[in-house]
A and B are shown apart, each in its own frame.
Chain A
């Protein structure tokens, strides 16, 4: 077990290093910040001073090595736009995105999984067809348009909810729903097919033959075995969720990481872009590692295999 964990940590560190390298190259390809950030009237001497101040006058490999060295010590450089430590700027926005993402995942699980189970219990029924129609629609509506549609109907016409911003519960409803719909549809689809597969297994037939109530068979026997692929799926979709968060946050002016990184990319605020990339990649890796550990809890067979 210990060797396994250490192996995973080394892999994670290598992945982070790779991500940093790609992000760093991409950023350096995009142009000289001294031309983009300073006013056109700035003379060459001012530009040179700017480059020297942020260390941009050194060779790229040296810049990369020094960046990795600083990051390892928790120093992500200073934001060009805010003139404050990039890490502070980024960390301030983390709670907002976390709030949105957690709300969306909770919503998606709360609606998607029961809908998938209900559809699988009686395949071909009106309920099944209704769920699958909603699933198809949910996977076909782009998040940004759904957001605008909700703003128009729920905020402008009906005046039930505030248009945008963050702070009250009412303001969380629309962005979380917009972000959740697509994931809920995907979860319902996978839950349905996993349930159908596990309901056809011998152990379900045995449980039924023993005369167990249908409810118990569905939950204890069929669902328990369908959970693993569902958890895997949620883990795999975290990245897509973060991408969706950029769009959702833009539509609803939600002050999270998505709007921050979008603005930072447009402003060429490299330290902030790189800090967000590091943080997101690290979060992604941590989430997937925790899910691996969760598998052991959900499937006792795997516990013995890794111990």
Chain B
């Protein structure tokens, strides 16, 4: 597998953003909560009235926009990344179970997935967050709820076909138990597809988290999150464009990076798509 092609420009963007998030305290020019009341709503450095003390300007409280965007990377990427991992673990497990066990567990898991997919997700997310109070735990639950179905359906299909293959029959003939067959022989077959799906899911979850935060139902202020910052800048869209422009651009960059990584991984891991 060609590593450079597998990672691609999207991977570089993603890794860059993760590094920014990891080293936020060292990179941010100002304290996230620090107020500079004399320089409220200062424009970015390159426009008239701006200064390099605040390269991306300041918000109505005089907080440095660049520092908040950098710390926002922490919030947004950590939440989306953690939700993706939990959803992948849950979805892959249920998919394996569903595909291997068949009969009633399969029927039950797939019906739950169908019902969930037949309902407008964002409406459900809004309702859950608003009715159960926005908190980090509830946010994670809502995001995992969005994502597990995708893994479960994919893994189930792969498991169904792997179950009938000779190496599984051989393992069973040698007296391998269900758990051993599932995790040693079948699970490795779903790894590639799951990794590809994961990068697209990361993109999706970053958008969902920022949408909820934009509506005031996700990450709560004063914790900086990209969606929340765009929302705070909404009232100033006519006067102080930089308040929503920079966090918004960061969302686009992160989602683009994840989508590009997904495309590149698909090309590298799926032989049928090589050269497309």
Residues on B with beta carbons closer than 8 Å to the beta carbon of A246:
122-123, 126, 215
Q: Does B137 contact A (CB under 8 A)?
A: no
A153 to chain B, nearest CB (A): 9
Instruction: Indicate whether A145 sits within 8 Å of B115 (C-beta atoms), given known contacts A136-B260, A239-B121, A240-B121.
Output: no
- Say yes or no: B248 contacts A140, CB within 8 Å: no
Within the complex, which residue of A136, A239, A251, A265 is in contact with B118, where a contact is CB–CB below 8 Å? Answer: A239
Q: Does B157 contact A (CB under 8 A)?
A: no
Q: Does A65 contact B (CB under 8 A)?
A: no
Within the complex, which residue of B127, B128, B230, B245 is in contact with A144, where a contact is CB–CB below 8 Å? Answer: B230
Q: Does A244 contact B (CB under 8 A)?
A: yes
Instruction: Indicate whether A30 sits within 8 Å of B132 (C-beta atoms), given known contacts A140-B255, A140-B256, A148-B248.
Output: yes
Contacting residues of chain A (1-39) with chain B, CB-CB under 8 angstroms: 15, 18-19, 23, 26-27, 29-30
Within the complex, which residue of A139, A145, A261 is in contact with B230, where a contact is CB–CB below 8 Å? Answer: A145
- Say yes or no: B211 contacts A144, CB within 8 Å: yes
Q: Mark B21-33, 1 if CB is under 8 A from A, else 0.
A: 0000000000000
Most chain A Cβ neighbours within 10 Å, of B127, B207, B251, B260:
B127
Q: Mark B188-220, 1 if CB is under 8 A from A, else 0.
A: 000000000000000100010011001100000
**CA distance in complex: A238, B118 (Å):** 10
Instruction: Indicate whether A261 sits within 8 Å of B123 (C-beta atoms), given known contacts A136-B259, A140-B252, A152-B238.
Output: yes
Within the complex, which residue of B121, B211, B233, B241 is in contact with A142, where a contact is CB–CB below 8 Å? Answer: B211
- Say yes or no: B131 contacts A30, CB within 8 Å: yes
Q: Does B58 contact A (CB under 8 A)?
A: no
Within the complex, which residue of A144, A152, A281 is in contact with B214, where a contact is CB–CB below 8 Å? Answer: A144
Tally of A-B residue pairs with Cβ under 8 A?
115
- Say yes or no: B126 contacts A142, CB within 8 Å: no
Q: Does B244 contact A (CB under 8 A)?
A: yes
Residues on B with beta carbons closer than 8 Å to the beta carbon of A148:
230, 233-234, 237, 244, 248
B133 to chain A, nearest CB (A): 8
Residues on A with beta carbons closer than 8 Å to the beta carbon of B132:
26, 29-30
B30 to chain A, nearest CB (A): 24
Within the complex, which residue of B120, B234, B252 is in contact with A243, where a contact is CB–CB below 8 Å? Answer: B120
- Say yes or no: B126 contacts A262, CB within 8 Å: yes
- Name the residue of chain B whose CB is nearest to the CB of A18: B115
Residues on B with beta carbons closer than 8 Å to the beta carbon of A151:
237
- Say yes or no: B251 contacts A145, CB within 8 Å: yes
Residues on A with beta carbons closer than 8 Å to the beta carbon of B118:
15, 239, 284-285, 288
A229 to chain B, nearest CB (A): 17
**CA distance in complex: A251, B248 (Å):** 14
**CA distance in complex: A273, B260 (Å):** 38
Within the complex, which residue of B119, B252, B259 is in contact with A145, where a contact is CB–CB below 8 Å? Answer: B252
**CA distance in complex: A250, B227 (Å):** 14
- Give the size of the chain A interface in residues (CB under 8 angstroms): 44
Q: Does A149 contact B (CB under 8 A)?
A: yes
- Say yes or no: A142 contacts B207, CB within 8 Å: yes
- Say yes or no: B238 contacts A156, CB within 8 Å: yes
Q: Does A247 contact B (CB under 8 A)?
A: yes
**CA distance in complex: A88, B74 (Å):** 45
Contacting residues of chain B (112-145) with chain A, CB-CB under 8 angstroms: 115, 117-123, 125-128, 130-132
Q: Does A72 contact B (CB under 8 A)?
A: no
**CA distance in complex: A239, B123 (Å):** 9
- Say yes or no: B215 contacts A262, CB within 8 Å: yes
Most chain A Cβ neighbours within 10 Å, of B118, B203, B215:
B118
Within the complex, which residue of A29, A140, A145 is in contact with B203, where a contact is CB–CB below 8 Å? Answer: A140
Residues on B with beta carbons closer than 8 Å to the beta carbon of A238:
120
- Name the residue of chain A whose CB is nearest to the CB of B263: A136
Contacting residues of chain A (235-264) with chain B, CB-CB under 8 angstroms: 236, 238-240, 242-244, 246-247, 250-251, 261-262
A residues with a Cβ closer than 8 A to B are 15, 18-19, 23, 26-27, 29-30, 136-137, 139-145, 148-149, 151-152, 156, 236, 238-240, 242-244, 246-247, 250-251, 261-262, 265-266, 273, 277, 280-281, 284-285, 288
12 inter-chain pairs at a CB distance below 8 angstroms, sorted by A residue, are A26-B132, A30-B131, A136-B256, A139-B255, A141-B255, A142-B211, A144-B230, A152-B241, A247-B214, A284-B118, A284-B120, A288-B118
B residues with a Cβ closer than 8 A to A are 115, 117-123, 125-128, 130-132, 203, 207, 210-211, 214-215, 227, 230-231, 233-234, 237-238, 241, 244-245, 248, 251-252, 255-256, 259-260, 263
- Having A144-B210, A152-B241, one finds 5 other A-B pairs with CB under 8 Å, namely A30-B132, A142-B210, A149-B248, A243-B120, A262-B215
Which 4 residue pairs spanning A and B have beta carbons closest together?
Answer: A243-B122, A30-B131, A145-B248, A239-B120
